[in-house]
Structure 1
Amino acid sequence: MAGINITSVNRQVKDISQEIYADKLQRDELQAKSVNKDESSGLQNAVAEKLSDKSNINTAFSDTAATLSISALGAEELEKVRDSWNNHPVSALYEKDIPVSKNAEGVYKIGGASFNDEELSAARDLITGVGSQLKKGYLSYRDYAKMEVAQKVVDECASKGFNEDQAKAISKAMKDYNNNLVRTQERLLANKKTKTNDDTTSGKYFGIEVHVPNEVRKSTNEYASTDIATNQDLIANIRDNIRSTTLSDKNAVNKLIASYEDIMRPAYNAQYPAQLKSNVDDVISRDVNDLIKLFDFSEKWKR
Structure 2
Amino acid sequence: MERGNQTGVGNFLLWGFTEDLDLKAFFFGLFLSMYLVTFTGNLLIILAICSDSHLHTPMYFFLSNLSFADICFTSTTVPKMLQNIQTHSKAITYEGCLSQIFFFIVFGCLDNLLLTMMAYDLFVAICQPLHYSVIMNPQLCELLALGSWCISVMGSLLETLTLLRLSFCTDMGIPHFFCDLPEVLKLACSDTLINNLVMYFVTVVPGVFSYSQIFSSILRISSARGKYKAFSRYGSHLSVVSLFYGTGLGVDLSSAATSSTRMSLVASVMYTIVTPMLNPFIYSLRNKDMKGALGTLLRRVVPLSVGTITGFS
Q: Which has the higher helix share?
A: 2
Q: TM-score, length-normalised on structure 1?
A: 0.27
> Structure with the greater relative contact order (CA < 8 A, sep ≥ 6): 1 or 2?
2
Structure 1 or 2, whichever has the larger Rg, is: 1
TM-score, with structure 2 as normaliser? 0.26
